[in-house]
């Protein structure tokens, strides 16, 4: 439940810094400037770890996810089974490693679909005006207000064996609205900027104004809404798996918790249910960190607040009773 | 040789809750290439509305805008040809350049859009344009706007406006966001370019002193109505309308009270 | 007035959209579980109940879609949501009515409490930015990313099974008669404490972070600096100037994420076997009780809408701009 609150409210008043030369490589680098801070990097490293687990799961995991060893049932962690075994003698660590794949595929697929919808609807609603913009905005708000999870539960329960893509699609349809809303607000503020007006006055075609002049300035917001929807999709998927709406053949961390719950793992067999939940939290934390980094990039006041206050205290002033700060000049040349 | 004509142009805005606002009321004037007109008025007088209508970022509510006697088409090739002839320099050089793109991109786009030069000459033309606004192409061409000073940015914006080789230029308070010390340089550059290319320039400002310095004629706008138009010296020295008089008396006069101290903006008029 | 009218129009539109989705969902469904059920249980269901089920689930194919839609609205206005298959063919409205108060009580109180606590904590942490209070941030982040249901499972394992402090499931002890007795009320509180605590703990982090970031942004505004320079007390600057303005976006994000929160808390009821609409929905899903599922979706959505309207009213009361338009 971490939304990029500030990105929504603080209209990108400080324009991103860009490197000097315009080679394609440094251009690519420029697009990643929002990730160049300790928080984002920490998040990306954790995320990268899970991606490696997902990709090389077959090589890394010591056992097959459903390989049963009836001589070792409900074993606590040991040298042979680092995270113990289930009631069927399955290795919990291997299940978690294989489960990573399902979580990441659905999470990223839902994130991509949702971001596409959010960009198309949000940017369109922000660029056009009048009743058409208002109705797109109302549509976005309807999707935001409708409780998504009950809807997903009902839709998923209509299918005997919903495919991963269907699950991702439903998660995306119920999860794009927040990003769409933020993008609309940002696009509306961009639309009235002089450089967009200048492009219009030059006779640039509409598609070029949107894709070449506006979208690059929205990358931070788009990235942040992507990360936000992936987080929501991971939570949604594991929740659905836990309550048993998604078939158990689709192995993910939620499925592990489903089995643990069904087979009386609580509270004694802690190794069966603690690691899977921690993995969900750790992945969520990594994504949240990436988003904090983007947030601070979009709204530099967040970044400098801590440093400035510390500097003040060094000079012997306390924060709460001193006059706060001199605001950094806007648009430094 | 081109002539832009405003014929009985009015612009009405809808304001939520309080009905409509008449931003321009039956405005008529002509601007021919080679001519410089200063459009003077306080904020809210309708100056920027005129700029938006000339560039067709907004459409007039009634009346006609004509280029060489033909009304501007709403869309299509005719509108493009019109826009190629009439270009604008925006007030705020910090906002009018896209922070994501290089200087090259900004000047290249109009060249490519209007096919001013063949493709293989685009690079050379960009450099030529930068030199025309007294900037060093080697140093600046691949930089992004935030790495430039305000004055440099405004010169880039001028180069962009000149790229399509227009015959008319709208300069909307082009120096008001710049440091006082570099205003004169940018204004003199505009004056030089105007003479070299025989441009018609509509110089929008609230500053009577630079208006007199820069232009042949002054047109005074008050609440959407043109209240006075005439040769620059005549309007300043012998204003006919009381609003013009009030405007003149409100601007600092070095001879009257403060001597050299307040003369920073007006010394330009003598040089 | 304009604000209220446009909000009212929006809520009417959303309610209409939810009801229409509910109309089309079973019509897009593959297979036909309803007629299979009706065939199996012939003679046990009254003809009127069959008629309303056929309307609700689009079996009345002899009528046009528009006629079906009008019939559907007619049923809704008469309060008929069909019969629940898994609850002995009891009317769906009655089944839901018995569960809804539990959810509104538990989830409502816990969510509002969490919002107030988190906002207050976030305001103080934002105010003391750069101090040790910032240490709360990583913890808040962690708790805001943990799934509700897992947190509930851990809470049961720890507080109820291991320590035995709280009952692990249900809303009150078996055999107790619901009523205005001290025994019953104390049991409701004891049973509700752990699920409520879990909801508060898992959603608190999000509110802390959101409010902290808004505070930091607002504290940089000149009017806060001026308020401090005037020599106003810290408490007054914090409360009447900074937090007062930071809380508005916080409140609107509260309203907008209600749908999201409710989804998460419904699953909590499964973990705690709490007799609310969430558990009812999941039971209905397992039992393939389609009429109950449809009815629940409708009721949950409309409840969220009512909560949204309340949040909007609070926003309007706090925002001087809307009050000015009123006057």
- The string of pLDDT tens digits covering residues A189-218 is 888 888 999 999 888 888 899 888 888 888
Neighbours of chain A (3+ CB pairs under 8 A): B, C
pLDDT at A27: 57
* Contact: A194, B104; criterion CB under 8 Å: no
Q: Of C255, C14, C227, C6, whose CA–CA distance to C112 is shortest?
A: C255
Residue position matching structure tokens 């706008």: B221
- The string of pLDDT tens digits covering residues C153-170 is 888 888 877 777 877 777
Q: What strands lie across the sheet with B168-172, from one edge to the other?
A: B86-89, B168-172, B200-205, B36-40, B217-222, B225-231
What distances in angstroms separate CA B250 from CA B176, B262, C136, one per listed residue? 17, 13, 57
- The string of pLDDT tens digits covering residues B98-107 is 888 899 999 9
Query: Which one has a higher pLDDT value, A149 or C326?
Result: A149
Domain spans, chain C: 12-91, 98-326
What does DSSP assign to residue B65? E
Mean pLDDT for B206-216 is 85
DSSP A65-120: TT---TTSSSPPS-SSSTT-B-TT--BHHHHHHHHHHHHHHHHHHHHHHHHHHHHH
Please check whether residue B267 lies inside any domain of the structure.
Answer: no
Please check whether residue B263 lies inside any domain of the structure.
Answer: no
Mean pLDDT for A106-132 is 91
Domains: count for chain A: 1
Q: Domain residues for B127?
A: 3-258
Please check whether residue B186 lies inside any domain of the structure.
Answer: yes
pLDDT value at A154 more than 50 = yes
- The string of pLDDT tens digits covering residues B213-251 is 888 999 999 888 999 899 988 888 888 888 888 888 877
The ipTM of this complex is: 0.84
Please check whether residue A308 lies inside any domain of the structure.
Answer: no
Res. B18 pLDDT band, cuts 50 70 90: low
B266 contacts B252 by C-beta, under 8 angstroms: yes
pLDDT at C257: 80
User: How many A/B residue pairs have CB atoms within 8 Å?
Assistant: 77
Mean pLDDT for B29-51 is 89
Beta bridge pairs of residue B165? none
Q: Which of residues 247-286 of A touch C (CB under 8 A)?
A: 257, 261, 266-267, 270, 273-274, 277, 280-281, 283-285
In percent, the amount of chain A with pLDDT more than 70 equals 80
Which of A248-257, A319-328, C21-30 shows the lowest mean pLDDT across its residues? Answer: A319-328
pLDDT at A195: 92
Please check whether residue A176 lies inside any domain of the structure.
Answer: yes
CB atoms within 10 A of CB C34: 21
C83 contacts C45 by C-beta, under 8 angstroms: yes
Name the pTM for this structure: 0.80
Q: Mutating which of C143, C260, C291, C294 best tests the A interface, going by the most A Cβ atoms within 10 A?
A: C260
Please check whether residue B266 lies inside any domain of the structure.
Answer: no
- The string of pLDDT tens digits covering residues C65-108 is 788 888 888 888 887 777 777 777 788 888 888 888 888 888 88
Average pLDDT in chain A: 78
Please check whether residue B271 lies inside any domain of the structure.
Answer: no
The CATH number given to whatever domain includes residue B25 is 3.40.50.300
Which of A18-22, B140-144, C213-217 shows the lowest mean pLDDT across its residues? Answer: A18-22
Contacts of A10 in chain C (CB under 8 A): 217
C15 contacts C76 by C-beta, under 8 angstroms: no
pLDDT value at A319 more than 50 = no
The CATH number given to whatever domain includes residue A246 is 1.10.3720.10
The shortest CB-CB distance from A195 to any of B96, B114, B148 is to: B96
> Chain B residue with minimal CA distance to A197?
B57
pLDDT value at A328 more than 90 = no
Query: Which one has a higher pLDDT value, A40 or C321?
Result: A40
> Chain A residue with minimal CA distance to B149?
A333
Query: Which one has a higher pLDDT value, C264 or A247?
Result: C264
Domains: count for chain B: 1
Which chain B residues touch A if contact means CB-CB below 8 Å? 55-57, 79-80, 83-84, 87-88, 90-92, 94-102, 104, 109-110, 113-114, 142-144, 146-150, 153, 157, 160, 164
What distances in angstroms separate CA A102 from CA A112, A158, B166, C264, one per listed residue? 15, 21, 59, 21
Q: What architecture is the C98-326 domain classified under in CATH?
A: Orthogonal Bundle (1.10)
pLDDT value at A109 more than 90 = yes
> Chain B residue with minimal CA distance to A333?
B149
Please check whether residue A256 lies inside any domain of the structure.
Answer: yes
pLDDT at C113: 92
- The minimum CA-CA distance between B100 and chain A, rounded to whole Å, is 7
* Contact: A203, B113; criterion CB under 8 Å: yes
Please check whether residue A251 lies inside any domain of the structure.
Answer: yes
């Amino acid at each position: 439940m971490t939304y990029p609150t500030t990105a929504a409210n603080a209209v990108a008043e400080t324009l991103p810094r860009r490197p000097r030369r315009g080679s394609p490589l440094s251009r690519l680098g420029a697009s990643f400037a929002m990730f160049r801070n300790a928080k984002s990097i920490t998040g990306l490293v954790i995320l990268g770890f899970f991606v490696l687990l997902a990709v090389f799961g077959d090589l890394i995991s010591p056992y097959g996810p459903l390989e049963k060893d009836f001589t070792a049932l409900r074993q606590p962690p040991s040298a042979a089974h680092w995270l113990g075994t289930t009631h069927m003698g399955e290795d919990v660590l291997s299940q978690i490693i294989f489960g990573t794949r399902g979580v990441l595929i659905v999470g990223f697929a839902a994130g991509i679909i949702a971001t596409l919808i959010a960009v198309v609807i949000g940017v369109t609603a922000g660029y056009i005006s009048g009743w058409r913009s208002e109705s797109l905005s109302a549509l976005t708000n309807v999707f935001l207000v409708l409780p998504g999870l009950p809807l997903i539960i009902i839709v998923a329960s209509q299918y005997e064996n919903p495919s991963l893509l269907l699950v991702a699609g439903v998660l995306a349809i119920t999860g794009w609205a927040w990003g769409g809303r933020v993008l609309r607000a940002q696009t509306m503020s961009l639309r009235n900027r002089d450089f967009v007006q200048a492009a219009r006055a030059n006779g640039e075609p509409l598609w070029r104004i949107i894709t070449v002049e506006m979208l690059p300035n929205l990358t931070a917001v788009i990235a942040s809404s992507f990360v936000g929807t992936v987080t929501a999709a991971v939570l949604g998927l594991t929740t659905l798996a836990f309550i048993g709406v998604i078939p158990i053949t689709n192995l993910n961390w939620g499925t592990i918790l489903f089995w643990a719950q069904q087979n009386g793992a609580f509270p004694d067999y802690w190794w069966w249910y603690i690691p899977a939940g921690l993995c969900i939290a750790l992945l969520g934390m990594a994504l949240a960190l990436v988003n904090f980094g983007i947030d601070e990039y979009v709204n530099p006041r967040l970044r400098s607040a801590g440093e400035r206050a510390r500097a003040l205290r060094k000079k012997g002033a306390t924060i709460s009773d001193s006059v706060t700060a001199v605001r950094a000049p806007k648009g430094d040349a | 040789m081109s002539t832009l004509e405003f014929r009985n142009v009015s612009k009405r805005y809808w304001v939520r809750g309080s009905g409509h606002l008449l931003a321009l009321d039956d405005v008529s004037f002509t601007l021919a290439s080679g001519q410089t007109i200063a459009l003077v008025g306080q904020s809210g007088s309708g100056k920027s509305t005129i700029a938006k209508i000339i560039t067709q970022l907004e459409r007039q509510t009634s009346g006609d805008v004509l280029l060489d006697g033909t009304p501007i088409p709403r869309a299509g090739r005719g509108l493009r040809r019109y826009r190629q002839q009439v270009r604008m320099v925006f007030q705020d050089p910090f906002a009018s350049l896209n922070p994501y793109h290089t200087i090259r991109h900004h000047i290249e786009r109009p060249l490519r859009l209007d096919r001013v030069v063949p493709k293989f000459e685009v690079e050379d033309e960009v450099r030529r344009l930068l030199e025309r606004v007294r900037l060093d192409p080697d140093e600046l061409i691949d930089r992004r706007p935030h790495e430039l000073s305000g004055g440099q940015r405004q010169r880039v914006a001028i180069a962009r406006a000149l790229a399509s080789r227009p015959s008319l230029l709208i300069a909307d308070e082009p120096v008001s966001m710049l440091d006082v010390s570099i205003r004169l340089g940018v204004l003199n550059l505009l004056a030089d370019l105007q003479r070299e290319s025989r441009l018609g320039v509509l110089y929008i400002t609230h500053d009577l002193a630079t208006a007199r310095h820069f232009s042949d004629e002054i047109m005074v706008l008050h609440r959407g109505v043109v209240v006075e138009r005439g040769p620059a010296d005549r309007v300043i020295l012998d204003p006919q309308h009381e609003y013009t008089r009030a405007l003149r008396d409100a601007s600092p006069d070095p001879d009257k009270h403060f001597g050299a101290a307040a003369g920073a903006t007006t010394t330009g008029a003598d040089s | 007035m304009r604000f209220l009218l446009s909000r009212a129009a929006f809520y009417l539109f959303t309610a209409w959209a939810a009801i229409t989705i509910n109309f089309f969902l079973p019509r897009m469904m593959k297979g036909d579980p309803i007629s299979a059920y009706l065939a199996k249980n012939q003679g046990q269901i009254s003809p009127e109940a069959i008629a309303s089920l056929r309307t609700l689930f689009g079996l009345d194919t002899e009528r046009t879609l528009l006629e079906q839609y009008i019939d559907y609205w007619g049923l809704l206005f008469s309060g008929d949501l069909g019969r629940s298959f898994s609850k002995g063919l009891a009317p769906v409205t009655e089944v839901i009515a018995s569960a809804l108060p539990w959810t509104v009580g538990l989830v409502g109180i816990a969510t509002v409490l969490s919002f107030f606590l988190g906002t207050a904590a976030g305001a103080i942490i934002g105010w003391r930015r750069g101090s040790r209070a910032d240490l709360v941030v990583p913890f808040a982040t962690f708790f805001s990313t943990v799934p509700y249901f897992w947190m509930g499972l851990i809470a049961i394992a720890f507080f109820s099974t291991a320590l035995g402090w709280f009952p692990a499931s249900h809303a009150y002890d078996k055999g107790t008669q619901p009523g205005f007795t001290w025994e019953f009320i104390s049991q409701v509180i004891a049973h509700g404490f752990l699920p409520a605590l879990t909801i508060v703990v898992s959603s608190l982090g999000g509110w802390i972070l959101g409010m902290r970031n808004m505070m930091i942004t607002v504290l940089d505004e000149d009017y806060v600096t001026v308020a401090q320079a005037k020599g106003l007390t810290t408490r007054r600057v914090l409360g009447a100037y900074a937090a007062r303005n930071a809380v508005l976006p916080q409140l609107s994000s509260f309203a907008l994420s209600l749908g999201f929160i409710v989804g998460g808390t419904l699953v909590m009821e499964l973990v705690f076997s709490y007799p609310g609409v969430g558990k009812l929905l999941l039971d209905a899903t397992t039992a393939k009780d389609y009429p109950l599922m449809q009815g629940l979706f409708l009721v949950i959505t409309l409840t969220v809408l009512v909560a949204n309207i309340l949040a909007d009213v609070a926003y309007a009361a706090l925002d001087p701009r809307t009050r000015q338009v009123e006057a």
